[in-house]
Chains A and B, each alone.
Chain A
């Protein structure tokens, strides 16, 4: 295995409506900042570029190709795309480096989710015969999961509110956050039900924006002379698309990915968990086997701002930048995709 370093990460402000800005205009600033922070002049200075986005959000097939306009890809570059969160674009770039076909890569993810009804759009990723015709939106499906946990007694509504209190509080230190502030458990539990048993604050907001990251071999990172975090383990697993066949109260695929990535092989100082719903953060903490010594979602997590198709990459960026800043020695980042945490990636990052 070649050790791969994360050397820069840039994220746009997470906003509920980016207004007239199009995707290219969202991508350009973060790509330019990620390259500049890495000490690189242009996309021509990396060996490979990979992006994550979803054509369903733009409403046109091959819409992701327009994202390349943000790069300045003349002369032509080696480029790829995943119809997934950009955490999986990072995985493709990591593989490219493992194969010796690249020593450095630019990864970016973007989405302007606000023009559509995102929870309904997400129902189109479900089984096309048994589920999608019923339009089960992402919030309703997460609510089924929360109800299963509440009924089983493995969480309480207070536990869920605690996650939101911590998210909003931590997000006060995150300049890009969409939702931040001081709230109490009592205030949250006094809020009406949204899609019962979920209250509105149990659900991540809809956010527009983009993120970009530069990764490279450790040798190249040293040559560039910047602080960096090293990817020591990375793995992703998926579960059945049949929700009924899964135990929704736990995340088997996260447990498998955590074991393969080596989460338990050292102390976990910080963790960033891609939990779009409050109860899912609790599932993930348990699946990763995190102790009380781990500081979770110091950024506020995706309950404070959820850039579709970049939120998973953002978790990796948040952990990497804190390691670069010397705030942590070893951390875990998690990315998810699909309904009710169907697919999960776990990344272990360490200081050199």
Chain B
């Protein structure tokens, strides 16, 4: 038996979920389109257009498929001004979270607006989508919106 250092059993361990999950036909369709810098929504049972697309109608629970391709401009429906971003926020300077109704859609989507200052924000203001430098099929492929 060796008189040097004792044998210690060791195993590398990475804390995390070691599986991947399919995002499914609706969310996956939206995220794949984002990777190609295309915004896609779908039509609810009442004809209203959702973007991001809804998997199931929020009222009737009907599975939704009827996709609509949309442009990259919209209108701010509601907003808050985050003057001091939290550690997890994706912007390190003051920004707005906003409900943006994409032109051609009816239901607003939540994202960020890089407006520089609160005084540049107003309800009803037009905004344009800014794509991330590299797109990879995530909601963050949309870097943010910016005032037009």
A-B contact count (CB 8 A): 96
A130 to B110, CA, bound (A): 8
| A16 at interface, CB cutoff 8 A | no
Contact mask A256-267 → B, CB, 8 Å, 1/0?
000000000000
With a cutoff of 8 Å between Cβ atoms, the chain A residues found around residue B23 in the complex are: 129
| B79 at interface, CB cutoff 8 A | yes
A147 to B80, CA, bound (A): 7
Contact mask A129-144 → B, CB, 8 Å, 1/0?
1110111110011011
| B75 at interface, CB cutoff 8 A | no
B107 and A133 contact, CB distance less than 8 A: no
A147 to B112, CA, bound (A): 16
| A18 at interface, CB cutoff 8 A | no
A242 to B81, CA, bound (A): 21
B52 and A130 contact, CB distance less than 8 A: yes
B83 and A244 contact, CB distance less than 8 A: no
With a cutoff of 8 Å between Cβ atoms, the chain B residues found around residue A243 in the complex are: 99, 110
| A21 at interface, CB cutoff 8 A | no
Q: Interface stretch among A49-57, A85-93, A100-108, A195-203?
A: A195-203
| A74 at interface, CB cutoff 8 A | no
Contact mask A190-229 → B, CB, 8 Å, 1/0?
0001111110000000000000000000000000000000
B90 and A135 contact, CB distance less than 8 A: yes
A244 and B80 contact, CB distance less than 8 A: no
Distance to closest chain A CB from B75 (angstroms): 13
Size of A's binding interface in residues, CB under 8 A: 34
| A119 at interface, CB cutoff 8 A | yes
| A40 at interface, CB cutoff 8 A | no
A134 to B89, CA, bound (A): 7
| A66 at interface, CB cutoff 8 A | no
A120 and B27 contact, CB distance less than 8 A: no
Can you identify 16 A-B contacts, CB atoms within 8 angstroms? A123-B88, A130-B27, A131-B110, A133-B140, A134-B97, A134-B139, A134-B140, A144-B98, A148-B78, A151-B78, A193-B81, A196-B80, A197-B80, A244-B99, A245-B54, A245-B107
Known contacts A145-B78, A244-B107, A245-B54; 20 additional CB pairs below 8 A are A117-B88, A120-B87, A130-B27, A130-B109, A131-B110, A133-B139, A134-B140, A135-B86, A137-B89, A140-B80, A143-B97, A144-B98, A147-B79, A151-B123, A198-B80, A240-B58, A242-B50, A242-B107, A244-B109, A248-B78
**Which B residues fall within an 8 A CB radius of A?**
23, 27, 31, 50, 52, 54, 58, 77-83, 86-90, 97-99, 107-112, 118, 123, 138-140
